[in-house]
Structure 1
Amino acid sequence: MKKKLFLIFGPLVLAAVLLAVVLVTPFNFTKPDSEEIHEASLSQSNNIFKGTAVKKAAFEQNYVPFMGSSELSRMDAFHPASMALRYHRDYQPFLLGAAGSQSLTQFWGMQGVNNELKNKKVVFIISPQWFVKQGINPAAFSMYYSNLEAVTWLRQANNSKMDRYAAQRLLKIQKNHSDSFLKDCIEQIANGKKLSATQKTYLDLKYNQLTHEDQFFSTLSLKNRVKKIKKASKKLPAKEDNAELESLATKLGEKATTNNDFGISNKFWNRELKDKYKRLKGEQSNFDYVSSPEFGDFQLVLNQFSENNNDVLFIIPPVNEKWSNYTGLSKSMLRQFDKKVTYQLREQGFNNILDLSNDGGKPYFMQDTIHLGWHGWLTVDKSVKPFLDGKDKVNKNNNYKINNYFYSDQWQKAEGQELNNIIK
């Protein structure tokens, strides 16, 4: 009887033991090929964002992180990936972020690849809509967060303001941790305490396990957008000519925005607004993007960029002016947001800023209510191309001066006259 049971269950037990051994060993077993990397770079897949294997391989090549949120999904002919493909740029965008991703998401997404990002260039798109009163939505954060990010970070975390603040924010946003031992480690860092030898050993084993799981499974079920970008890029003229591109942007924008008075694409209008736009008049009059914990989360990103010595092009997109006039979104509030976020950047040495906040009224600049469209992406390209094209992919001369004041509640909440007193 025992022999029969062993014959039935023995192979299963042995397989489970072997799998466990494989997962916790420190050796790498698989590496993504060039086709997988390219597909992943356009997929905006949560698994890719939360993982490290594919991103590491990509950033060792000519892929450049484009960090943002839902605007990266608007893949028209002038999208950065389309322009890079059509005109054989010597860089390829790696899209990091989608709907719901914000500063805190991006900070944790960097934790597994900071070594690969050292001295590299990054394009970072700042959405005003992130900076709401309550900050990032915990459910949205959970979509992009993984224990692998936290474990990788914990293995090198120390008693710095950045690490303490990151731990405190993580505990507040991610209250239900699947791993109680991991949560204890995060609490240690949040309280400025060192990890024990036992905790460090656990983290090393956990890191090996999660890394191998990422290597095996992260590229499964990717959204394949390669064909979509290829199709979009074919609309562009064969030779890169500014006048032709401007004319084409107007032509495509004009053709795509015929069923409403707001310069919004027909598809978006029919899907999202046609049946409800009348009741949205004046609905955004109380929106506020000036007082928000997002400014503290954004500081985490800046702090990490400084640690990595990243050369970053920051892009501040506008909102659709016709639509914001209709919904009552305050122009003075938007100006104050712009003033606050650019102050936070410039005060710490982040001076490469493409501020498009005043361009939301230009024809065909926006595709919908808040996302860049035909002329919007084309304008972005005029800054992205000289920033990324050419041999200079590494910058070792940044002189960032991180100021921990920007983590403070006072800064996060400052608006109106209080903000004006700070920004003199």
Structure 2
Amino acid sequence: MSNKRRLWQIFGPVICAFLLLLIVFLLPWERTFSKQSVYEAANSQTTTVFKGVGMKREAYKNGYIPFYGSSELSRFDPLHPSVIAEKYNRNYRPFLLGGPGSQSLAQYIGMQGTAKQLENKKAVVIISPQWFTKQGQNPQAFDLYYSPLQTTMFLLNAKNNKTDRYAAQRIASMPTVKSGIIKNCLKKVARGEKLTGWDRFLIKNRQRMLTNEDNFFSTFQVRNRVDKIEQRAKLLPDKYSQAALKKVADEQAEMHTNSNNLGIDNTFYRTRLSKKVLKKLKGSQKHFDYVKSPEYADFELMLNQFAKQHTNVLFIIPPINAKWMKYTGLSQKMYQESVAKIERQLTSQGFENIADLSKDGGKKYFMEDTIHLGWNGWVAVDKYVKKFAALPNKRYNYDMSNYYYSKSWQNKTGVKPLNLSNKDSLKDQ
């Protein structure tokens, strides 16, 4: 047997398999998703779903509302928005997008593949003022949520404007975006350069492969929380009322916070706050500052994407556990200044649906732990979401300003709270 034949017998099958795989991933193909798989994905909060496109597009066409947020969405007590929507057969279902560290920049990229599906529709954003640190987007967390697929979509639609140049510069600056065609094209867009025909050809082929990967693997690693939602829903009264929900919230919270005097869930307190940890954290946050941050400019990217889609958005600003603030020395004055700055950025551009819960951290059973909404917090959120979801879909126009990308705004202090007459209108209707 000749050496060539031996080599072919050894490497031939590998080469053929590789070529076949390449052809499969380069050929465009579509996939449909069952209602059950979409429902599971909507509540899974996996990075696979977050970074994908197909599943979200299918969901938004069928009555799901994206809930953009972070780790608070993982707190599945009986008053969680997904549980309430299921129990009372609401005309919407939340599609949960985010987890620990999913800040504005990661969320912005994750919005690129669903612009058409959310045009003239609704979305909910839970803003965490804790994102607005001196550093802004955490690079390690960004790595978890970064979507090359949706970055290719951004690149193919990028224009020479402030938003796209700023977005390209910020994405390219993240360590997870390695050298290659995507990073090279991001740098070109950041400089205001037009992509060449060859650039677009390479990006389109990359996108086709990533799209096929998404279609292949989008249902893999989906965290099935359906049983959990159904079990939690059994604890809710059959007939909806705010008073009945508050009764359940009080009962559940009393049962789950009886090991400490901070109003913190027993499991969280036991596993995360040992005596040694608590001792270290006393007074540890007195110098925290959420007023100066590059996050304000990243947040503006999200707002511009909503404006581009003419999406009607409800913004929820949660509080921090008041007892925890006192223990760690976190300044309530500073926190309220950061809230005022966020609200000014929203309202000055036409985003007026705001559920400002930032001063409610001292209310009983409002928080589940140190910073995350809990039992009565979710009941308060539902007052807004229920009314908001009932509003008719229509085209919303916004008045966007490039000023909010500037260093001047990122570092601005002394922003006064706005007297928002309509801030509580959704709750009080």
Letter in 2 for 1:39: E
What is the deviation of 1:421? 12
Q: 1:262 corresponds to which residue? A: 262
**Structure 1: distance between partners of 2:397 and 2:53:** 28
Q: TM-score, normalised by structure 2?
A: 0.93
What is the deviation of 1:242? 2.2
Q: 2:202 corresponds to which residue? A: 202
- Cα distance change, pair 126–176 in 1 and its aligned pair in 2 (3 A): closer
Contact residue 82 and residue 230 of structure 1 kept, 8 A: yes
**Structure 2: distance between partners of 1:421 and 1:348:** 16
Contact residue 79 and residue 375 of structure 2 kept, 8 A: yes
**Structure 1: distance between partners of 2:296 and 2:12:** 56
Q: 2:103 corresponds to which residue? A: 102
Offset from partner CA, 1:317-374 (integer Å, 9 cap, x none): 0000111011111011011111100000000000000000111100000000110111
Offset from partner CA, 1:108-145 (integer Å, 9 cap, x none): 10011112121110000000110011111101111000
Q: 1:214 corresponds to which residue? A: 214
Aligned length: 416
- Please state whether the residue corresponding to 1:205 is helix, strand or coil: helix
List 4+ stretches of structure 1 deviating above 6 A.
Answer: none
Q: 1:298 corresponds to which residue? A: 299
Q: 1:58 corresponds to which residue? A: 59
Letter in 2 for 1:203: I
Q: 1:187 corresponds to which residue? A: 187
What is the deviation of 1:399? 2.7
What is the deviation of 1:146? 2.0
- Cα distance change, pair 239–84 in 1 and its aligned pair in 2 (3 A): same
Q: 1:156 corresponds to which residue? A: 157
Q: 1:363 corresponds to which residue? A: 364
Moved more, 182-191 or 112-121: 112-121
Give the root-mean-square deviation of aligned CA atoms: 1.8
Instruction: Kindly report which structure 2 residues correspond to 1:13-412, keeping only aligned pairs within 5 A, or say none.
Output: 13-25=15-27, 27-172=28-173, 174-275=174-275, 276-389=277-390, 392=392, 394-396=393-395, 398-412=396-410
**Structure 2: distance between partners of 1:23 and 1:380:** 43
Letter in 2 for 1:395: K
What is the deviation of 1:29? 3.6
Moved more, 15-24 or 134-143: 15-24
- Please state whether the residue corresponding to 1:155 is helix, strand or coil: helix
Offset from partner CA, 1:46-96 (integer Å, 9 cap, x none): 011111111111111111100000000001000000000000111111000
**Structure 2: distance between partners of 1:292 and 1:306:** 22
- Please state whether the residue corresponding to 2:289 is helix, strand or coil: coil
Q: 2:427 corresponds to which residue? A: none
- Cα distance change, pair 153–85 in 1 and its aligned pair in 2 (3 A): same
**Structure 2: distance between partners of 1:175 and 1:258:** 43
Moved more, 220-229 or 358-367: 220-229
User: Unpaired runs of 5+ in structure 2?
Assistant: 420-429
**Structure 2: distance between partners of 1:180 and 1:401:** 36
- Please state whether the residue corresponding to 1:122 is helix, strand or coil: strand
Offset from partner CA, 1:28-56 (integer Å, 9 cap, x none): 24222222111111110001111111111
- Please state whether the residue corresponding to 1:117 is helix, strand or coil: coil
- Please state whether the residue corresponding to 1:220 is helix, strand or coil: coil
Contact residue 121 and residue 395 of structure 1 kept, 8 A: no
**Structure 1: distance between partners of 2:417 and 2:35:** 52
Letter in 2 for 1:15: A
Contact residue 242 and residue 379 of structure 2 kept, 8 A: no
**Structure 1: distance between partners of 2:70 and 2:326:** 24
Q: TM-score, normalised by structure 1?
A: 0.95
Contact residue 117 and residue 308 of structure 1 kept, 8 A: yes
Q: 2:424 corresponds to which residue? A: none
Moved more, 281-290 or 238-247: 238-247
Q: Percent identity?
A: 47
Contact residue 67 and residue 125 of structure 2 kept, 8 A: yes
User: Unpaired runs of 5+ in structure 1?
Assistant: none
Letter in 2 for 1:13: I
**Structure 2: distance between partners of 1:388 and 1:17:** 49
Contact residue 341 and residue 417 of structure 2 kept, 8 A: no
Contact residue 68 and residue 97 of structure 1 kept, 8 A: yes
Letter in 2 for 1:400: Y
